[in-house]
């Protein structure tokens, strides 16, 4: 689906969402409140200016205090790779955007991510992965690194990696693997109105971070949940010992 189609399906009554320089921003009516929409379109890399433009929109929504949903629509490249971005503190800007979304969440705004194209690395972490519920549309292609690049870095032949990718979702790019990891909660049905599907996601939003539980259930992260629990258990036990 294109961004225009997605917006039309999300907001059948119309919306005020604009795209400029690959950055998405605006509002649209959802369940009687004005949802805030931010995002990245057109496989655009996220740099310092983009991150701060998006975080500004999120903080504006938090300041409004209406607890309206915040939708994060993502079809991005990775973080913008440049000397200037790093010089000026890209890590702070991306972390700031993620923190804005996490603060909004704490302040009672449902934060819903929707990945409909590509996304990778720092851009993915700062946007879609910083929402409470991350959904995807079929055809979305989140990745950390493409397989040819993985082949180059790991010095393993590409065909071997492709074979491994079939049985080991933990390293391979693609939506199915991100779903299996638990990072993507649900894949939406493009044939049905997105508005009602998003409404359902908001209604069913988990109270806690359940991504490692999903990863264990779906087999994409076989041990993370057990390891995290074991650490937490030991910590509590040690604390009781004093």
Partner 1 sequence: MSPASTDPSALSWYEASARQRVAALADPGSFREFLPPTARRTSPHLPLFDLPRAFDDGIVVGRATLDGKPVLVAAQEGRFMGGAFGEVHGAKLIGLLRAARDLKPAAVLILFDTGGVRLQEANAGETAIAEAMRAIAELRAAGVPVIGLIGGRAGAYGGGGLIAGTCSRLAVSEGGRISVSGPEVIETNKGAEEFDSRDRALVWRTMGGKHRRLIGGADAFADDTVAAFRAAALDLIARAPAFDLATLEAEQARLEARIARFGDCRDATEIWARLGVNDPEAVPAMTTAAFDETVARVEEAHHDAR
Minimum CB separation of residue 157 from partner 1 in Å reads: 12
Cα–Cα distance list, 22 to 36, 40, 105, 127 (Å): 17, 6, 25, 14
Rule CB under 8 A: which of 93-112 touch partner 1? 93-96, 98-100, 102-103, 106-107
Among 134, 121, 130, 73, smallest CA distance to 103 is for 130
Give the span between the Cα atoms of 237 and 206, in whole angstroms.
27
- Residue 225 is a binding residue for partner 1 (CB under 8 A): yes
Question: Looking at 2-10, 19-27, 164-172, 186-194, which segment touches partner 1 (CB under 8 A)?
Answer: 164-172
- Residue 218 is a binding residue for partner 1 (CB under 8 A): no
Q: Which of 20, 87, 203, 207 binds partner 1 (CB under 8 A)?
A: 87
Give the span between the Cα atoms of 13 and 15, in whole angstroms.
7
Question: Looking at 4-12, 28-36, 188-196, 209-217, which segment touches partner 1 (CB under 8 A)?
Answer: 209-217
Rule CB under 8 A: which of 120-139 touch partner 1? 121-122, 124-126, 129-130
102 burial (CB, 10 Å; 0-12 / 13-18 / 19+) is middle
Q: Which of 4, 33, 200, 223 binds partner 1 (CB under 8 A)?
A: 223
Q: Which of 29, 42, 66, 145 binds partner 1 (CB under 8 A)?
A: 145
Minimum CB separation of residue 133 from partner 1 in Å reads: 12
Q: Which of 5, 86, 159, 196 binds partner 1 (CB under 8 A)?
A: 86
Rule CB under 8 A: which of 171-190 touch partner 1? 171-173, 177-178, 180-183
Q: Which is nearer to partner 1, 35 or 48 (CB)?
A: 48
Question: Looking at 11-19, 35-43, 195-203, 225-233, which segment touches partner 1 (CB under 8 A)?
Answer: 225-233
Rule CB under 8 A: which of 32-71 touch partner 1? 48-49, 52, 55-56, 59, 62-63
- Residue 238 is a binding residue for partner 1 (CB under 8 A): yes
């Amino acid at each position: 689906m294109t961004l225009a189609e997605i917006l039309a399906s999300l907001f059948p009554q119309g919306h005020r969402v604009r795209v400029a320089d690959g950055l998405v921003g605006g509002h649209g009516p959802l369940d009687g409140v004005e949802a805030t929409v931010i995002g990245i379109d057109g496989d655009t890399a996220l740099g310092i200016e983009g991150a701060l433009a998006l975080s500004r929109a999120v903080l504006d929504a938090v300041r409004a205090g209406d607890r309206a949903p915040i939708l994060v629509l993502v079809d991005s490249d990775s973080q913008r790779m440049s000397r200037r971005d790093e010089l000026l503190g890209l890590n702070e800007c991306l972390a700031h955007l993620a923190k804005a979304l996490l603060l909004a969440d704490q302040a009672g705004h449902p934060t819903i991510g929707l990945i409909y194209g590509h996304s990778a690395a720092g851009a993915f972490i700062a946007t879609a992965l910083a929402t409470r519920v991350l959904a995807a549309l079929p055809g979305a292609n989140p990745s950390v690194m493409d397989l040819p690049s993985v082949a180059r870095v790991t010095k393993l032949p590409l065909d071997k990696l492709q074979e491994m990718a079939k049985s080991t979702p933990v390293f391979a790019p693609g939506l199915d693997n991100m779903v299996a990891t638990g990072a993507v909660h649900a894949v939406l049905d493009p044939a049905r109105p997105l508005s009602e599907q998003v409404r359902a996601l908001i209604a069913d939003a988990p109270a806690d971070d359940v991504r490692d539980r999903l990863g264990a259930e779906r087999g994409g992260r076989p041990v993370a949940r057990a390891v995290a629990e074991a650490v937490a258990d030991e910590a509590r036990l040690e604390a009781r010992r004093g």
